[in-house]
């Protein structure tokens, strides 16, 4: 089930008008000789990055005669991002692509902002968390889609389930995305007088130990945003750990965290890739990045893990269950 109403307030007022004016859905056949490059911040083993890359190339399939994806691997090897970004710059300068798509914050920050702000090469960005203002976007040569997670809605549902909550725990990878998400959760919970302790483990063993301790400590709930940047993270072990130890309400905003969490409002990566591909295709037809406003995503899914709720002996209200997809159906 899709829930869009609460994200409408984040959407640029000209979003739909612009799509209509430039006829985004009327794409041409193969654009002869057009070269397209996607610079992904991560690797395609990460479901979010793979979802964007797949959706992007599906949209651009008939618009590019040459297609290439370059991976920065910023989650597993953040220490090498600047070197990888310089390699991406060299690829762009040699390839001379007709359009470049950059996905997620590291690629935007280390490639687009650092080397190509207001250049003659058109860029489309996607997956930038919450706001592009820290990068000074949009540029004369760049537009795209911001990623807004349904954190407000997750917090609202959590406080409805646990109205006496006073303290929570956020356990995330030590990346820019992990810190942004925990900080955002913290800001929203604080509006209701709820504090959030944040922890950013670098190794799976630390994550597992912290997860178990959080279930036994004086926390009302646990937030689990992102984990792919934690070295040695094992989802099968983590799922068994969650089934054996979950005692508190657990919250997430990404689909791959559903087996580990009770209540998830997930943002589909495909929406980011689809939009970036549609805009990139129009740019290949002659449109300019400035023709498109910066927009935010509009879709997310509510998923309930009833098995974990039963383990934790947490009763979920029928109203919530009726509007949710069950984890076993995924």
pLDDT in tens, 98-111: 999 999 999 999 99
Look at residue 261 in the predicted model and tell me its pLDDT. Answer: 95
Sheet with 295-296: strands ordered across: 66-71, 35-40, 99-103, 123-129, 142-147, 295-296
Cβ-Cβ contacts under 8 Å for 3 (sequence gap 6 or more): 150, 153, 265, 300, 301, 302, 323
pLDDT at 3 over 70: no
Please, where in the chain does CATH 3.40.50.2300 lie? 5-148+268-296, 151-266+301-329
How does strand 195-199 pair with strand 167-171?
parallel
Tokens of 92: 């762009």
User: Has residue 97 got a pLDDT over 50?
Assistant: yes
- pLDDT for res 131: 87
Q: What CATH superfamily is the domain 151-266+301-329?
A: Response regulator (3.40.50.2300)
CA-atom Rg of the chain in angstroms: 20
pTM for this entry: 0.76
Q: Which CATH architecture has domain 5-148+268-296?
A: 3-Layer(aba) Sandwich (3.40)
Task: Measure Cα distances from 100 to 46, 154, 276 in Å.
Answer: 21, 34, 10
Sign of the alpha-carbon torsion through 158, 164, 166, 171:
negative
Q: What is the pLDDT of residues 25-65, one digit of tens each?
A: 444 444 568 999 999 999 999 889 999 999 999 999 989 99
């Amino acid at each position: 089930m899709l829930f869009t109403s609460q994200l409408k307030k984040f959407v640029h007022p000209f979003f739909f008008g612009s799509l209509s004016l430039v006829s985004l859905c009327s794409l041409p056949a193969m654009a002869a000789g057009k070269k397209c490059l996607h610079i992904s911040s991560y690797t395609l083993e990460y479901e979010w990055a793979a979802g964007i890359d797949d959706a992007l190339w599906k949209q651009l399939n008939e618009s590019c005669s040459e297609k290439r994806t370059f991976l920065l691997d910023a989650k597993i090897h953040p220490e090498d991002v600047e070197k990888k970004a310089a390699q991406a710059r060299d690829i762009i300068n040699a390839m001379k692509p007709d359009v470049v798509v950059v996905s997620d914050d590291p690629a935007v920050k280390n490639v687009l902002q650092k080397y190509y702000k207001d250049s003659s090469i058109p860029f489309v960005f996607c997956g930038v968390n919450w706001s592009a203002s820290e990068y000074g976007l949009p540029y004369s040569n760049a537009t795209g889609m911001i990623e807004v997670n349904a954190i407000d809605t997750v917090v609202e549902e959590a406080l409805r389930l646990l109205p006496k909550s006073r303290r929570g725990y956020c356990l995330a990878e030590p990346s820019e995305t992990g810190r942004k998400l925990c900080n955002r959760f913290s800001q929203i919970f604080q509006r209701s007088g709820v504090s959030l302790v944040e922890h950013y483990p670098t190794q799976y063993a630390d994550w597992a130990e912290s997860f178990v301790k959080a279930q036994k400590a004086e926390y009302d709930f646990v937030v689990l945003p992102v984990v792919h940047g934690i070295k040695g993270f094992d989802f099968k072990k983590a799922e068994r750990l969650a089934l054996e130890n979950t005692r508190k309400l657990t919250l997430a905003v990404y689909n791959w965290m559903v087996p580990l969490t009770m209540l998830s409002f997930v943002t589909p990566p495909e929406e980011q890739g689809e939009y970036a591909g549609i805009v990139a295709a129009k740019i290949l037809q002659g449109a300019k990045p400035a023709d498109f406003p910066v927009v935010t995503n509009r879709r997310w899914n509510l998923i309930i893990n009833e098995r974990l709720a039963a383990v934790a002996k947490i009763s979920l209200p029928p109203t919530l269950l009726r509007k949710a997809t069950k984890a076993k159906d995924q």
